Amino acid sequence: MGGYSRAWTTAGSFSDLARQQQDVLARPQLHALGVSRSRVRNEVRARRWRLAGRHAVILHRGPPSFLQRAWVAMLNAGPRSALCGLTAAGLDGLVGFPSDEIHVLVPRGADARPGPGVVIHQSRRFRPPDDLHPAHHPPRTRLSRSLVDAAIWASDPEFACSLLAAAVQQCLVSAARLRTELEARRVGRHRRLLLGALGDIEGGSESFAEIDAARLCRRAGIPAPTRQAVRLDSHGRRRYLDLFWDPPGLCVEIDGRFHMREREWRLDMDRQNDLLLSGALMLRFPTLTLRLDPGRFVSQIAAALASLAGPSARQVR
């Protein structure tokens, strides 16, 4: 079967199709290749093949691999189905977000029944084969759709934001492409939060995070900080502080780019150590905290300012 098809058609020989589909075929495919129902029945009775659901046939009796289980789930969902969400993203290289369930996408109204460990998603926006990668097997949604779908389906907003950030950090997809995919959805769980997070991931939007932070402080009655305050480090280099209260010497950094790459992480730690050695107190927050838990952001800043108040207030050199 040359990629996704609107019907269970076949191309090539039995062995070619078996190799392409990891030894998992749909019964209509077998029939199209000239394999009779009686032949299928005999192979199953002889314990050489195994039936797996209402359509799939596994051409061996051993334990199925993950890819074979994915083919079984997709073939049993019908000829207009494809892998999606975390399942598709994992096959396309995403690491750190394993899923025990196999996610399958079908058009709205399709007669698809989930099997054990399979989640069926119906979508009015699913337009095969346009929404599918043209060359990947098993057939699956393009990576940008897989990721946005998985983020929208997630119940945990922090997980949803972290998923998109990880995909960009792993150089699998650009934040701009994810934004285009997300903006095409008029509705969806976490949509507004995810659009904001993509702005943070893209970089260049730190100023918006800083503005949000200053606004949160003002609403909580906390004195306004200086934004992008300049100081020289121990090597004489100019350093910019996202938020700075002087006195008493409190620095707050908003990690708008999800500072997780190794080099950025090391540079950030060196910068933080330099500030602490100069006598400052430094707090760091990911933009996700501002978006998901602004109360915690404000309360920690208030506690830090209170701890620095009085005769023992620190002064930054």
The residues near 16 (Cβ < 8 Å, ≥ 6 apart) are none
Sign of CA dihedral 76, 77, 81, 86: negative
Contact in structure between 83 and 103 (CB atoms under 8 Å): yes
Choose the weakest-confidence range: 69-73, 110-114, 163-167, 225-229. Answer: 225-229
Q: Could you tell me the CATH superfamily of domain 206-308?
A: VSR Endonuclease (3.40.960.10)
pLDDT surpassing 90 at residue 85: yes
pLDDT surpassing 70 at residue 66: yes
Average pLDDT for residues 59-79, to the nearest whole number? 94
Query: Domain boundaries in the chain?
Result: 66-202, 206-308
**Residue 227 confidence (pLDDT):** 74
Contact in structure between 88 and 141 (CB atoms under 8 Å): yes
**Residue 226 confidence (pLDDT):** 81
Choose the weakest-confidence range: 22-26, 36-40, 167-171, 174-178. Answer: 167-171
Q: Please give the mean pLDDT across all residues of the chain.
A: 83
**Residue 317 confidence (pLDDT):** 41
pLDDT tens-digit readout, 110-168: 888 888 899 999 998 888 778 888 888 899 999 999 999 999 999 988 889 889 988 98
What is the pairing mode between strands 281-286 and 56-58?
A: unpaired
**Residue 280 confidence (pLDDT):** 72
Whole-model pTM above 0.85?
A: no
